[in-house]
Amino acid sequence: MPREIPKAYEPQEIEERWAKSWFDEKLFRAENSGDGAPFSIALPPPNITGSIHIGHMLEHTQIDMLVRWHRMRGHHTLWLPGMDHAGIATQFVVERQLAKEKLRRQDLGREEFEKRVWQWKAESGGVIKDQMIRLGASCDWTRERFTLEPALYRAVIEAFLRLYREGLIYRGRYMVNWCPRCQTAISDLEVVHHERAGEIWNIRYPIAGSKEFLVVATTRPETMLGDTAVAVHPDDERYQRFIGKSVMLPLMNREIPVIADTYVDREFGTGAVKITPAHDPNDFEIGKRHNLPQIDVMTSDGHMNEAAGKYAGVERFAARSRIVADLTELGLLEGVKEHMHAVGVCDRCKSIVEPRISTQWFMKMKPLAAPAEKVVREGLIEVVPENQRTILLQWLENIRDWCISRQLWWGHRIPIWHCADCNEMVPATDSRVEIVEGHARAAGVPTKCPKCGGEKLTQDTDVLDTWFSSALWPFSTLGWPDDTEDLRTFYPTSLLISGYDILFFWDVRMIMMGLHLSRDRITASASMGEGSSQRNQGEAFRQGSQGESVRQGTASVVPKGVAGSGASAPEGALGGRSFSSDISLAARGALAPEDTLASSVPFRRLYLHSLVRTAEGAKMSKTKGTGVDPLQLTQQYGTDALRYMLASMAAPGTDIALTEDRILGARAFANKIWNAARFLFVNLEKVEANGFTLDELAAPEIRAKAPYPVPGEGALAHRWIFSRLASVAAQVNDALENFRFHEACQTIYQFFWGDFCDWYIEWVKPQLANPNREIAVPAWRNIFAALDAALRLLHPAMPFLTEELWHKLPQPAAAHSIALDKFPEPRAEWTDVGADDAMATLQEIIVSLRNIRAEMKLDPKKKVAADFSSRGLTLRNVIQENLDPLLRLASLSELRVSKDHLDPKSGAVRSTAAFDLRIAYGDAVDKPAEIARLKKEIDRLEKDIESKQKRLADDSFTSKAPGHVVDALRATLVERQIEHRKLQDRLNELL
RNA sequence: GGGCGACUAGCUCAGUGGUUAGAGCGCUCCCCUCACACGGGAGAGGUCCAAGGUUCAAGUCCUUGGUCGCCCACCA
């Protein structure tokens, strides 16, 4: 065992060594954990694009603490890691790289481009994994998954096909959010709104065949080129006479009708609205109601198209300026005002999003939301903190259909083929995948159109939103759709820990998909893609929009083909895209039975952790340079310190502002732990000379039998520290059970630094050097056992340091790691109320004596005599029994114990209700200072006594408050009165 | 427009109706005592944003207001 322990804790070498060892040994394989109840948790898969940031580290620290805690408590524990292909984000990164070579992805072509992305993934996709390993995440890396790997690709196809057959996925032409930079549709959630000062223009639209105008207001003049109507409120008296007439659309010279629609707000602007059904969600709806044509005036990259007449080819914002200028010239611009409004931008590239009509794939959300709502409402998924539960439920109530198709090349390609002859949509025959050049693609390629027999089938070019595959993560990673051992063992997962910022993107969608899909698995006997669902799925979708039985087996089903697509699709995308729900409440009542729901939730508990912010409270941002690199902090302060700092600040529901002094504090703590252990080993060397061996003092079987009785004066501290251990273990268990990481940290911190170091070690130091084996051996045994327990308590938060120190203690030959050791149990037989009380009193006495010394400015090295007085015989006995440590810790030469009055004139006195202490004045007596102190104290006590007396005099208090509260108050009052009298007497004697 | 959160010591934050509201850092004084100066000891420091209300009892629950922050939202 290495004995050269450096004075200051140097984490770097230790951490790197253990991180590598844990990984190489596959220490955290689920198979290495205990055989208790399963505890499973899926890592929120980081995007392959990035590197670990401090937010990941917070998340991983919290997950890791719980995972390690469960593992140490013997649970069959799995933390399943993996990465997300992050479609749009990754494509964005690789496109940027291409741009440096002056290339666009179109120049490469789809296949080449995909190769480039894979290549890039091979180079940089492993960064996060390496970082996680380095930071000590105790994942089962043998089960690592990637959303685009074959097995998960297959799960995605399977999920798509099922949902498609059920009519829950449909295709149609609707208003979507279009990013002209990324050139793809994006979901509502990927549009972020920024309040901006823009302009609103008032434009005159001449009434056809008249000199009058209708003035409309717009913030986007360029869209006017696609106007197909002007709308007014039907009851608006100003415009009644124009309804049914038409106006001449300026610049385009197109005659468009004036229509009446109650959507129009008479109070806003001029009360007349231009209607552009192809470029505005509301106008889209109005357009449908009034059968207006939809004129798309833009290209996919944000330029005006040929429908824009002379503006064709002009970039959208350039067109805006030109149109405003042209209107001005024509005298048709009535005015322009500054106007605050929310501009939607692409979450990824920050381009202004263009609402646009396009043919996309959508998922009906209402039918999926109903069961999700039920499980959350009924607590089958527990959401912490509580307010996030409300937010989640509100979002589910207002859910709208999800645009799941992306015009990207990096992702899961939609498993639908289009017939060139009749436009029929033909789904993949099954969910099989084949590996081509190392990567998966759908293998169930249909060869013949079932409708027209045509053989010219081409696969849909769109890919699925990244979040579609993420939504399957908890079960796809465990082998779904196959009925695997892992799925049976670890699904539903026990817990999901995620940031609240992806609650809607991910967490909720997992709940919906999990409830809908996870129950139907393919048994091992069935071949890939040919299984069928065995269990009754419940009736949820029997009464779905198609009004027919849609829940059927996996591959045996004749595809429903166009169900839910085209004209028969539910109304609207944006705006009205709210799936006019015919899943009624009655249908909700026919949801699957509780136990089935309970066994198909993706996770039983959901904990939304806080976000890390800068010291100023702003969101961290790489572009602003306010992001913090956790690996750099790790280099500087140590991983354990950083982990501890993050955990100690992770109070549920509040964001974390990162400050350096907290990290310094955590580093000091790590150092403290290191040095406490160092103390033991350094001193052990000294006694080894006397024939002691580490094994006899600290072998596992020796530690197991602690505490050992220590004869004579030293017994108390030993009884007390084990009593503390029991209580601390219970508190930590309780805190971790409730995600109160900060509380767990604080409890351990106070135990280790305060109880273990400041009191216990100081108390028993002389015993360890005692030549009498009868004393030294049990003392050593106890302190090693206590240290060992403390390390195990600390391990979930500070894995490296504790692993290192644990290995310095003798461990069973088979033991690999503290991570597989047991978490300390709150052992009832360790609880010792008598020791707790006695110790508390002794501590109080010692602190009081030190206080007197400090106030008297006595030389710290000089030992002085003191007097102790108490009427309590028990207390006096406690003093006598512990006189030796007491004298030492209070730096006294002697303590005279009596029950006599202590004269304050000859020394400085401190009193509690139970005892008095006095240290005789030496040369200098600062009487005025003592009198001032007494007066202040008396004043405080008087106020306190008064308030207590008042409350006790109140009948309503004594009659209504619980008895123990009243009794406690009475008891305290008596104590205060005694203290007060003592102080008053002393003051009188001094005056 | 809706919703959520925060406001407690100089700073950053805990605080789960019930004795005298806590921690870390910082500050003051003392100590380089043989594990640790990333240390030890002793202190100072708070009308818990404001005003009402509920309650025997409010930092804690309710209402209103203020300041700051965040999320959601199709008012041109």
Comparing every residue's Cα with the C1' atom of nucleotide B34, the nearest one is: A683
Q: Protein A494 CA to nucleic acid B23 C1', in Å?
A: 32
Instruction: Name A187's Cβ contacts closer than 8 Å, sequence gap at least 6.
Output: A177, A402, A403, A404, A465, A467
d(CA A434, CA A387): 45
List the one residue out of A758, A616, A606, A612 whose CA is nearest residue A676.
A758
Average pLDDT over residues A44-70: 91
Task: Say what the pLDDT of residue A925 is.
Answer: 59
d(CA A496, CA A506): 11
Task: Say what the pLDDT of residue A631 is.
Answer: 87
Average pLDDT over residues A462-479: 96
What one-letter code names the amino acid at A985?
D
Instruction: Name A633's Cβ contacts closer than 8 Å, sequence gap at least 6.
Output: A54, A642, A663
The 8-class DSSP code of residue A518 comes to T
Portion of chain A with pLDDT greater than 70, in percent: 90
b or e along A290-320 (b: 16 or more beta carbons within 10 Å of the residue's beta carbon)?
bebebbbbbbbebbbbebbeebeebbbeebb
Could you tell me how many helices (H) and strands (E) chain A has, helices first?
33, 31
* Structure confidence by residue, pLDDT tens digits, A200-253: 899 999 998 888 888 998 999 999 999 999 999 998 888 888 888 999 998 888
List the one residue out of A684, A677, A679, A682 whose CA is nearest residue A802.
A677
Instruction: Name A206's Cβ contacts closer than 8 Å, sequence gap at least 6.
Output: A212, A213, A247, A248, A250, A332
Nucleotide whose C1' lies closest to the alpha carbon of residue A758: B40
* Structure confidence by residue, pLDDT tens digits, A613-672: 766 666 666 656 666 788 888 998 999 999 999 999 888 877 777 777 888 999 999 999
* Structure confidence by residue, pLDDT tens digits, A146-155: 999 999 999 9
**What ipTM was reported for this prediction?**
0.95
* Structure confidence by residue, pLDDT tens digits, A572-605: 333 333 333 333 333 333 455 677 888 999 999 9
Whether A220 CB is under 7 Å from strand B: yes
Q: Please give residues of chain A from 669 to 698 whose alpha-adjacent beta carbon (CB) lies under 7 Å from any atom of strand B.
A: 670-672, 675-676, 678-679, 682-683
Nucleotide whose C1' lies closest to the alpha carbon of residue A858: B30
Residue A59 has pLDDT above 60, yes or no: yes
Residue A539 has pLDDT above 70, yes or no: no
Q: Protein A672 CA to nucleic acid B39 C1', in Å?
A: 9
Task: Say what the pLDDT of residue A341 is.
Answer: 83
For CA atoms A729, A735, A739, A742, give the dihedral sign.
Answer: negative
Task: Say what the pLDDT of residue A650 is.
Answer: 87
Residue A434 has pLDDT above 80, yes or no: yes
Q: Protein A624 CA to nucleic acid B3 C1', in Å?
A: 29
d(CA A520, CA A542): 16
Task: Say what the pLDDT of residue A549 is.
Answer: 32
* DSSP, residue by residue, A628-679: --HHHHHHHH-HHHHHHHHHHH--TT--EE--HHHHHHHHHHHHHHHHHHHH
Pairing of strands A272-275, A191-206: unpaired
d(CA A155, CA A514): 12
Average pLDDT over residues A777-798: 96
Interior angle at CA A540, CA A537 and CA A546, nearest 5:
115
Name the pLDDT band for A719 (thresholds 50, 70, 90). Answer: very high
List the one residue out of A725, A699, A698, A736 whose CA is nearest residue A827.
A725
Lowest mean pLDDT among A69-73, A139-143, A548-552: A548-552
Name the pLDDT band for A298 (thresholds 50, 70, 90). Answer: very high
Whether A8 CB is under 7 Å from strand B: yes
Alpha helices, H only, A770-871: 773-794, 799-806, 833-855
Whether A746 CB is under 7 Å from strand B: yes
Whether A217 CB is under 7 Å from strand B: yes
Look at phi and psi of residue A961 and say left if phi exceeds 0, alpha if psi is from -120 to 50, else beta. Answer: beta
Residue A535 has pLDDT above 70, yes or no: no
Name the pLDDT band for A976 (thresholds 50, 70, 90). Answer: confident
Task: Say what the pLDDT of residue A942 is.
Answer: 85
b or e along A601-628 (b: 16 or more beta carbons within 10 Å of the residue's beta carbon)?
bbbbbbbbbbbbbbeeeeebeeeeeebb
Cis-peptide, bond into residue A860, ω within 30° of zero = no
The 8-class DSSP code of residue A569 comes to S
Task: Say what the pLDDT of residue A153 is.
Answer: 96
Instruction: Extract the tokens encoding A125.
Output: 């996709």
Q: Protein A7 CA to nucleic acid B38 C1', in Å?
A: 11
d(CA A121, CA A147): 12
Angle of the A127-134 helix axis to the A11-24 helix axis, nearest 10: 110
Cis-peptide, bond into residue A38, ω within 30° of zero = no
Average pLDDT over residues A759-773: 92
Q: Please give residues of chain A from 643 to 672 whose alpha-adjacent beta carbon (CB) lies under 7 Å from any atom of strand B.
A: 649, 651-654, 656-657, 659, 661-662, 664-665, 667-668, 670-672
Whether A884 CB is under 7 Å from strand B: no
Angle of the A660-688 helix axis to the A773-794 helix axis, nearest 10: 150
Task: Say what the pLDDT of residue A532 is.
Answer: 35
Which of the nucleotides in strand B have any atom less than 7 Å away from a protein CB atom? 3-6, 11-16, 18-20, 23-26, 29-31, 33, 35-43, 55-57, 68-76
What one-letter code names the amino acid at A287?
G
Whether A761 CB is under 7 Å from strand B: yes
Instruction: Extract the tokens encoding A659.
Output: 């400050």
Portion of chain A with pLDDT greater than 90, in percent: 59
> Which has more confidence, A689 or A202?
A202
Task: Say what the pLDDT of residue A958 is.
Answer: 87
Task: Say what the pLDDT of residue A142 is.
Answer: 97
Within 13 Å and on the Cβ side, how many CA atoms surround A705? 12
Name the pLDDT band for A926 (thresholds 50, 70, 90). Answer: low
**In which element (H, E) is residue A217 found?**
strand A213-218
Residue A552 has pLDDT above 70, yes or no: no
Average pLDDT over residues A164-170: 94
Residue A868 has pLDDT above 80, yes or no: yes
Whether A218 CB is under 7 Å from strand B: yes
Instruction: Name A828's Cβ contacts closer than 8 Å, sequence gap at least 6.
Output: A726
d(CA A447, CA A443): 11
SS (H, E, C) A230-275: EEECCCCCCCHHHCCCEEEECCCCEEEEEEECCCCCCCCCCCEEEE
* Structure confidence by residue, pLDDT tens digits, A112-131: 999 999 999 988 878 889 99
Average pLDDT over residues A924-945: 78
Average pLDDT over residues A811-830: 92
Task: Say what the pLDDT of residue A660 is.
Answer: 78
Name the pLDDT band for A541 (thresholds 50, 70, 90). Answer: very low
- pTM, two decimal places: 0.90
What is the end-to-end Cα distance of chain A in Å, rounded? 65
